[in-house]
Amino acid sequence: MLLRLLVLFHTVAVAGFFGQTGMFGPVVTNPRAGDLAPDLVFSNVLSSPGSGAWSSSNFLGHMTVLVFFPDTTYNLQSVSRGNALNSRFSGKPVQFVWITAEEDSSLLPWLQEHPIQGWVLHDPFGGSGRACGLELPNGVIIADRKILGFDMGIAPEERTISAALEG
């Protein structure tokens, strides 16, 4: 009986200690589809499709696909897939924002050899992931500053993006 009580106490204590702590830190907000998109938190813009700086106004007038990929280097297949998605939706009102947390020392040389199309934001402390309520890297689709939905994959599938564009 005492052993059962200790196991139950241990299970509850461990769950309380580790509960709701994700890859980006403790989850403190849980935005949902239809909510206003949070401001992105980042330290540096590593790449942009134009010459402008990123601000929350970039969410207006088109659909934004957030791709959270904390460890970018040595993941050429994911980068190639992201670049292919960006190319497929070229000329359509869609922008892709790749958010990475990797160390500058490994990331910057790698990006020189393997550029990522669209926006690339450096968020070394996971602030954007926390603001979006993410425990793991998932895709987030936003239109005109409102969250349309979350995708369980790191980058949403082409059909998901097309469906979001169609309404």
CATH number at 44 reads: 3.40.30.10
Q: Rounded to an integer, what distance in angstroms lies between the CA atom of residue 72 and that of residue 124?
A: 12
Q: Which helix (H) or strand (E) holds 66?
A: strand 63-68
The count of structural domains within the chain is 1
The confidence score (pLDDT) of residue 21 equals: 62
Residue 76 has a CB neighbour count (10 Å cut-off) of 12
Which structural domain range is residue 105 located in?
Answer: 2-166
pLDDT in tens, 93-129: 999 999 999 888 888 999 999 999 999 999 999 999 9
pTM reported for the whole predicted model: 0.82
**Nearest partner of 48 among 37, 56, 58, 36, judged by Cα:** 58
Look at residue 12 in the predicted model and tell me its pLDDT.
Answer: 42
The better pLDDT of the pair 140, 11 is held by 140
